[in-house]
Structure 1
Amino acid sequence: MEDDKLFCSYYTKSEYITDYMTKMLDFNKDHLILEPSAGDGVFVDELLKRQPSVNITAYDLNPKAVEILNSKYKDFPNVEVINSDTLLDVNLDMLVFNNGYYDRVIGNPPYGAWQDYEKRANLKNLYKGFYVKESYTLFLLRCVSLLKENGKLTFIIPDTFLNLHMHNKLREFLLLNTKIQEILMIPSSFFPGVNFGYSNLTIITVQKTTKDEALKNTIRIVRGLKKVSNIEDITNGSNLEKYLVEDISQREIYESVDMAFLIKAGSEIRNLINNSEVTLGDLADCVTGIYTGNNKEFFKVASSEVRNPTKCDMVNPEQVEYDFLQHDNLLSGIEGNKHFIPAVKGNAEMYLRKNDWFIDWGKEAVNHYKTDKKARFQNSKYYFKKGIAVPMVKSSKVKANLINNQVFDQSVVGIFPKNNDYLYYLLALLNSDIVNTIIQTINHTANNSANYLKKIPVVLPDSNEVLESVNNLVSKMINHCNETGSINNDIQNELNDIFNELYKQKKLPAEVLG
């Protein structure tokens, strides 16, 4: 188990998965096959079961795994086991230099494997422009490069490569150098021992090719599997009507915003995102707030009922300054005993948040935020302004709420309209059902950073009457939240109807609008 953690190796134990992947590999006895992170040999076993004489090269970095593999395949002269780092192996470098060697590659590469600083520097030098902190992306790049022309690869990898900015370069490489034949989306719970909080898994199958051929390709994406045995249907091509099967032009993905796979809500939402006239980034500054460097020391909570994973202490009411805007030079801190002020931090309800969190804003503390190496006094020109907070870590329903002239920390994205006339309009929009769907499509993972929110397409009303109507409804909603501590569903339904009508003009179908 400790070795698994060290090498971030999650061994494949499902025959439904191995059956599917070996079928997608479409190999024969004359092919040269690479397993770049062989683990306990589950793929090698399946390959040998289907073609006992096929030539397999199995790499693994873990000496214990290699010892087991050598013992396991000692009677198979066609299986070569190598204890080496697939990403840095010099012999593999030469094979890449010679335009590939293997006919097929199959594997379940490490996810998020820790690289020491020396190795990370080597990886940055070898894989220039690629995100080297995530090991699976480098394995994918490396192994496609090791394929002969028309060679095939099938890998189990997290689905983060589909959308995240850090993987732009990888998406470009795949879209221009391979035909992405199929992406099978599966919950991480299908995979014994793995349960990501931030993403799920995919099984991707690609064929190495030229740019011209790649951009003529159509990608099949399969979603909607509920249990691991459903993979058998996909393997056999049966009962496909039970699942979400979509064929998307590879060129369309290549020409989309950031070359992202905007697949969660279908072609209508995808077209809206890719062809939007106005985005949230055009109308507002989207920024991240302060980081104290030591939240346990500098943040306090209103009560023991506040969700408080860092175990911050409760604030002393006598030290709280609610009327902080009266102080001059706020960016330099507050003098005196009352130096804790309400701050915007963490998740909260829609529209209005309680004062659950307080930050030390004394002069000494503020000086620390400005000078300590671990702290970040970032985007300070937006502190003490009116804006909107959207949690950095999102749930199934994104909840936006007001920043009421407060400091906000890095657990939220602060959204500050360039025209304050749109403050309430954007607040309502970000709490609407249609924009929740759009946000989940732009980035389906738990990450909700400023760069993703900037891409949200905004449909502005043609008349002041609609804008005034939204503003009035939001004012009523805020008053209701203030009095009751919860939203008014009737008001929210009215707002959803308004935005559904606005987005309907962009030809979105009823099922998307809810």
Structure 2
Amino acid sequence: MKIINDQFYTKENVVELCKKSLLQFNNYDVFIEPSAGEGAFLNIFSNTLAYDIDPKQTKIMKQDFLELDLNFNNKKVLVFGNPPFGSRSTLAKKFIKKSISLGANAIAFVLPNIFKKAINQTYKLFPEEWKLINIIDLPKESFYVYDKSQYINYHVPCSFFVWIKNDRSNLPNLRKNKITLEIKEFIFVKRNSLEADLTINGNSGKVRFPHEITNPKAEHFIKINTNFDLIEIKEKLNNLIYQKYSSVNGGNYWINQDQIKEAWIEKYYK
């Protein structure tokens, strides 16, 4: 099922799960919902500025948030809601960066679970002064879509992430630092390296021998370390599960090398 403009909507019970963590921002001056959809989040704050490229309510302004040009003159700004994710979460990251550029003091977004990973909490996305203060795991089928006007439950593995800028409270910072993951059985080598024994496809997770692949750009190349059996390692790699790292609609994903290492450690080292 093809979803137009990333239009999948948040269920009311899921909004209620997120609401408690938003009420701490009641004293803020400006509330922005950048992709308001059908308005699921609009009843939390009475004076929310709501935008969407395809608004479903009259109080939602027709506006591409990424093209928005506003100056809030040092007011305290909360940007919140369920932004579109896009392929490999590229749109979600654009919404985060745009929120920061508009002067947001807090960002509270429904995001794919890959944003729990250190690679998606870097200073490049959230500068150093940002603290991750809350992550609320969302239930299965937290969303719905319309297919020919029919309401259909929809699942993407997601959580509700709450970030604050320059927070001086005693709230713990849940932000992760990038951890070096050491694997003794294999190493990653350069693309098309003659040393490679196996490849892992970044889209499917399928493990193959280098001579079997047709598109090297979609592959991670692996060299098996001495004293480890090639066929055994190939079988073990094929048994890894990557769905928890899904980053785009419908559970499709791109697997990076750290995620392969994490999946290996979780399955075989713990």
Aligned: 1:390 with 2:205: no
TM-superposed CA distance for 1:429, in Å, is 4.0
TM-score, reference length from structure 2: 0.69
Residue 44 of structure 1, CA deviation:
1.4
Residue number in structure 1 paired with 2:150: none
Quick one: distance in 2 between partners of 1:450 and 1:286?
12
Checking the alignment, whether the CA contact within 8 Å between 2:245 and 2:255 is kept in structure 1 is: no
* Structure with greater helix share of residues: 1
SS of 1:87's equivalent in the other structure is helix
Q: Which residue of 1 aligns with 2:91?
A: 135
| Paired letter, 2:43 | D
Match of 1:192 in 2: 144
Equivalent pair of 1:174/1:180 in contact (CA under 8 Å): no
Task: Tell me the distance in 2 between the aligned counterparts of 1:217 and 1:255.
Answer: 21
Does the 8 Å CA contact 1:179/1:209 hold for their aligned counterparts? Answer: yes
Confirm or deny: 8 A CA contact 2:135 2:159 kept in the other structure: yes
Shift of 1:449: 4.5
- 2:58 is matched with 69
Give, in whole Å, the separation in 1 of the partners of 2:190 and 2:154. 31
Moved over 6 A (4+): 454-458
Larger radius of gyration: 1
Determine which of 156, 165, 169 is the counterpart of 1:208: 165
Residue 104 of structure 1, aligned match among 75, 78, 96? 78
In the TM superposition, what are the counterparts of 1:77-92 in structure 2 within 5 Å? 81-91=60-70
RCO comparison, higher one (Cα < 8 Å, 6+): 2
Distance 2:139 2:98 in 1: 25
TM-score normalised by L of structure 1: 0.40
Task: Tell me how far 1:102 sits from its aligned partner.
Answer: 3.9
Q: Displacement, 1:142?
A: 2.2
For residues 156-211 of structure 1, the C-alpha deviation after alignment (integer angstroms, 9 at most, x for no partner) is: 1222333496x465x64436232211112335522122746xx621211122216x
| Richer in strand (by share) | 2
Map 1:12-411 → 2, pairs under 5 A? 12-14=10-12, 16-26=13-23, 27-28=25-26, 31-48=29-46, 55-62=47-54, 64-65=55-56, 68-70=57-59, 81-91=60-70, 94-95=71-72, 98=73, 100-112=74-86, 134-147=90-103, 151-163=105-117, 167=120, 169=122, 172-174=124-126, 176-186=128-138, 189-193=141-145, 195=154, 200-209=157-166, 218-219=172-173, 250=175, 253-257=176-180, 273=181, 276=182, 280-281=186-187, 284-285=188-189, 287=191, 379=192, 382=194, 387-394=197-204, 400=207, 403=209, 406-410=211-215
How many residues align? The count is 253
Deviations 1:460-500 (A, max 9, x none): xxxxxxxxxxxxxxxxxxxxxxxxxxxxxxxxxxxx9xxx6
Q: Which residue of 1 aligns with 2:245?
A: 444
Counterparts of 1:415 and 1:30 in 2: how far apart (Å)?
Answer: 50
Q: State the distance in 2 between where 1:40 and 1:400 align.
A: 42
Whether the aligned pair in 2 keeps the contact of 1:18 and 1:43 (CA below 8 Å) is yes
- Flag the 1:457–1:82 CA change in 2: closer, same or farther, 3 A: closer
- Runs of at least 5 residues in structure 1 that lack an aligned partner in the other structure: 49-54, 71-80, 114-130, 220-247, 258-272, 288-378, 459-495, 504-511
Q: Please give the alpha-carbon distance, in whole angstroms, between the structure 1 residues aligned to 2:261 and 2:8.
A: 35
User: Identity of counterpart residues, as a percentage?
Assistant: 19
Change (3 A) 1:427 1:183: farther
**Following TM superposition, by how much is the alpha carbon of 1:455 offset from its aligned partner in structure 2, in angstroms?**
7.8
